[in-house]
Homo-oligomer: A and B are copies of this chain.
Amino acid sequence: MFIKNTWYVAAWSHEVEGSNILSRTIISQPIMLYRKDGGEVVALHDRCCHRGAPLSMGRREGDCVRCMYHGLKFDSRGACVEAPAQERIPPQAKVQTFPVVERHRWIWIWMGDPALADPSTIPDTHWLDDPDWRGLPGYIHYHVNYLLICDNLLDFSHLPYVHPTTLGGGEDYAKIQPKVERLKDGVLITRWTIDTEPPPFAMAVREWSGNVDRWNIYEFTIPAILRMDSGMAPTGTGASAGTREGAIEFRGCQALTPETENSTHYFFSHPHNFAIDQPEITQSIHQSVVDAFEEDRDIITAQHKNLVLDPSFKMMAFGIDGALSQFRWAVTQRLDQERKAREETGVQA
């Protein structure tokens, strides 16, 4: 069960280039993405209405796509405009289209009612292509339900345990209870660690003469979008009071997009605003994040296997779980709303 009336990240801009067609399953629907000759991105159901073959195995003909099974041709609005051996095309011969918006190197897709697709509700991730910031595009694939990864991102107390040699740091980091504020569609989490060891990934890109004050301030909103102001400054410079003197800063952008009930696409970048003319610094930061996300994947995949082995297992909430409990509650609310709306209108999911 997935929320439908929301913007999901479907792809990085560079994944949809030239005349190629990208096929990607999103919330259990096969989707194809391509650019019209003018560059505009189009999203169609990747399933010919005739016999169900993937249109992404088809041939681009201008802004149209021809199914390479039996030759049906569809325009970029999904209408069948040619079929073999018949003149008249029935009007119901069409494939579903999906609203898409390309913004700051991410292509967002709306899987629900097109009438509700409002681009102004897309979260701001301008750091992804802001000239004052530098980051590399990341993608990894998970064989678990996306909510297990949400849980992970909503509780950073795992950092020193899962990521001791990458993003982690001293275990005092986990001892702090972050501030959690409810947002309309998620939570705002604020975590400060004062006078702590700089984490390994930060030591790799700068010399630190002593301890730092470290912050992670992020919104995590439906469907599963993380936007984070994070960084650290030498202890004593007053970072927690608002100055960012001598600090290094990041604006992490992460998006989880369910592929199926048991698999997930993970898009991420970790832009920084220092040493932006030093590609090796950007690369070092990116690699630390990639390494750390593979550490997350190891433990979360192992957790998933345990849950599969015994579906009756009930998780037990601890103090650190405030944010994830609130987020899971928000997801459940939205699913309930959408279910009720479908029941009222009699429309099938």
Which of A's residues lie within 8 Å of B, judged by CB?
25, 28-30, 46-47, 49-54, 57, 66-72, 83-86, 92-93, 151, 155, 157-158, 160-162, 171, 174-177, 260, 298-299, 302-303, 305-307, 309-310, 312-313, 315-316, 318-320, 348
Contact = CB atoms under 8 A, between A and B. Distances in A.
A215 to B, nearest CB: 16
A157 B70 contact: yes
B320 A85 contact: yes
B84 A320 contact: yes
A52 B312 CA distance: 11
A58 B33 CA distance: 42
Q: How many copies does the complex hold?
A: 3
B69 A319 contact: no
A69 B57 CA distance: 42
Contact of A171 (B71, B162, B309): B71
Contacts of A318: 50, 70, 72, 83-84, 86, 93
Contacts of A72: 318
B310 A84 contact: no
A281 to B, nearest CB: 29
Given A47-B306, A50-B316, A53-B299, 9 more contacts: A29-B310, A30-B306, A52-B306, A52-B307, A68-B299, A83-B319, A85-B177, A85-B320, A86-B177
A299 B85 contact: no
A35 B57 CA distance: 45
Contact of A303 (B52, B307, B309, B319): B52
A319 B161 CA distance: 60
A86 to B, nearest CB: 4
Contacts of A52: 303, 306-307, 313, 315
A162 to B, nearest CB: 6
A25 B309 contact: yes
6 contacts: A28-B309, A30-B309, A47-B313, A49-B316, A69-B299, A84-B157
Contacts of A54: 302-303, 305-306
Contact of A84 (B70, B175, B348): B175
